[in-house]
Amino acid sequence: MWRLAASELRQHENRLALEGVRASIGYRTFAGRAQAVEDAVIALGVRPGDRVAVLSAERAFDEPVALAGALSAGAVVVPLDASSPPARLARMARASGVRALIHDDRAAALAALMTEHDAAGDEPFGRIELDLDGFVLASVGHAAATDIAPAPELAFVLHTSASTGPTQAIEISWQAEDVFVSRWSAFFELTDKDRILRTAELSFELACFAHLAAWRCGAVLCTVQRPELSVARSVAAAFVRLSPTVVCDVPALFMKLCAGLDGERELPPSLRVIGFSGEVFPPQALLDLSRRAPHARLFHFFGPTETNACTFHEVERRGDGTLSFREPLSCGEPPSCGEPLSFREPTVK
């Protein structure tokens, strides 16, 4: 069973690892920064299978460095969304058994507020602060006590958004990640020449896939910082600048992307795989994306929650200018497009 290790990152040391709109670093540098985070996590007293939260306000290089360092230390990563209220973040972290928190310097105030709102905790979480480039700035305290036993077989604990009911904590094992990443890497034919764009929140399962798939094959992980995702034109400019080959996100991101493109401008022809999940995709908006990305295959992932996208459709472009969906298949099945459904609905005109 595959699981991430810092030594694996170093195997790609002559390749580009992370690229943003304004900066990039190679795998050798990336592995070094991830190793520093791993060392800091272990120094706090975190054991393999303990849970470590990752909180990034800016979502710069600090986020993938934090993720790689925590996973390499054997920790179970609990991603937290910096747009959530501090009281909610504190409850989620404590209920999940989080023992330490890795955050960027822009989230320092939010992390402090989490501690203030953590009424259930007898002691604060150990904290590791990174700058936006992923360098360790400070390490404070020690791993907090928890009643939850270490679970080395787990990779992530992801929380649902509560848009359709109470927030749920979903445990994702390394075995499940191995199946998901290996099968989809083969299905997408990912290689070290790919450029995988990560725009979704880390609490979204397809964002976890983007990170792990890139690192497994030595591809470039392209990142877009949170401020650049707030405006349609900056989203479109980032796509054009980074020229990704693969991207998975919620429909709202792709609608914002299309809104930021001038006229009938198409996306770069390098874009060959688009995956979407987590929301309803309005038919006309999906058709617009299909027209602007004529070289890309489109996939709709879905499951019982947005943290468990275990089934997919491929969107089929028809000769009459409409779109339809192929038969749904499990992500755990051998990669296959399946046969088109015998009926035309749902169809986009």
**pLDDT score of 349 more than 70:** no
Of 53-62, 105-114, 155-164, give the lowest mean pLDDT range. Answer: 155-164
Q: What is the pLDDT of residues 150-190, one digit of tens each?
A: 999 999 999 887 665 677 888 999 998 898 888 889 888 99
Average pLDDT over residues 36-45: 98
Q: What angle do CA 239, 240, 243 make, to 5 degrees?
A: 75
Checking if the pLDDT of 337 tops 70, the result is: no
pLDDT value, residue 119: 62
Residues 238 and 168 in one domain: no
39 vs 307: which has the higher pLDDT: 39
Mean pLDDT, rounded, for 271-287? 92
Average pLDDT score, the chain? 88
Residues 202 and 167 in one domain: no
12, part of any domain: no
Which residue is associated with the tokens 């992801």? 158
pLDDT for 151: 97
| Residues 168 and 184 placed together within one structural domain of the fold | no
pLDDT of residue 325: 78
Residue 73 lies in a domain: yes
- CB atoms inside a 10 Å sphere around CB 75: 30
- For residue 285, what pLDDT band results from cuts at 50, 70 and 90? very high
Residue among 56, 5, 78 nearest 226 (CA): 56
Look at residue 291 and tell me whether its pLDDT is greater than 50. Answer: yes
3-state secondary structure the chain: CCCCCHHHHHCCCCCEEEECCCCEEEHHHHHHHHHHHHHHHHHCCCCCCCEEEEECCCCCCHHHHHHHHHHHCCCEEEEECCCCCHHHHHHHHHHCCEEEEEEEHHHHHHHHHHHHHCCCCCCCCEEEEECCCCCEEEEECCCCCCCCCCCCCEEEEEECCCCCCCCCEEEEEHHHHHHHHHHHHHHCCCCCCCEEEECCCCCCHHHHHHHHHHHHHCCEEEECCHHHHCCHHHHHHHHHHHCCCEEEECHHHHHHHHHHCCCCCCCCCCCCEEEECCCCCCHHHHHHHHHHCCCCEEEEEECCCCCCCCEEEEEEECCCCCEEEECCEECCCCCCCCCECCCCCCCEC
* Same domain assignment for residues 197 and 66: no
Asked if residue 88 is part of any domain, the answer here is yes
Is 80 exceeded by the pLDDT of residue 308? no
CA torsion angle 169 175 176 181 (round to 10): 130
Residue 286 domain-assigned (yes or no)? yes
Asked if the structure places residue 341 within a domain, the reply is no
Q: How many domains does the chain have?
A: 2
Q: Please answer whether residues 211 and 172 qualify as being in contact, where contact means their C-beta atoms are separated by less than 8 angstroms.
A: no
Q: Give the CATH number of the domain where residue 231 resides.
A: 3.40.50.980
Q: What is the mean pLDDT of residues 114-132?
A: 83
Query: Which residues, listed in sequence order, are joined to residue 127 by a DSSP beta bridge?
Result: 101, 140
Angstrom distance (rounded) from CA 197 to CA 34: 20
Q: What does the block give as tokens for 148?
A: 């939850």
Of 3-17, 107-121, 217-231, 272-286, the poorest mean pLDDT is in 107-121
Residues 219 and 164 in one domain: no
Threshold 0.85, pTM exceeds:
yes
Query: Which two three-digit tokens encode residue 52?
Result: 């470590």
Cis peptide before 124 (omega within 30 of 0): no
Which range is least confidently modeled, 124-138, 261-275, 327-341?
327-341
Poorest-pLDDT segment among 114-123, 233-242, 285-294: 114-123
Residue 79 has pLDDT above 90, yes or no: yes
In a shared domain, residues 195 and 164: no
Predicted local confidence at residue 336, as pLDDT: 36
> In this predicted structure, which of 136-140, 298-302, 317-321 has the lowest mean pLDDT?
317-321
Task: Please check whether residues 164 and 228 belong to one and the same domain.
Answer: no
Pairing between β-strand 311-317 and β-strand 297-302 as defined by DSSP bridges: antiparallel
What are the tens digits of pLDDT across the range 233-267? 999 999 999 999 999 999 999 999 999 999 999 99
Residue 230 pLDDT grade (very low, low, confident, very high; cuts 50, 70, 90): very high
Q: Specify the pLDDT at position 18.
A: 98
Q: Is 180 a member of any domain?
A: yes
Locus of tokens 């995988």: 196
* Residue 126 lies inside a defined structural domain of this protein: yes
Do 190 and 326 reside in the same domain of the chain?
A: yes
Residues 178, 68 share a domain: no
pLDDT at 330: 61
For 313, the domain range is 174-330
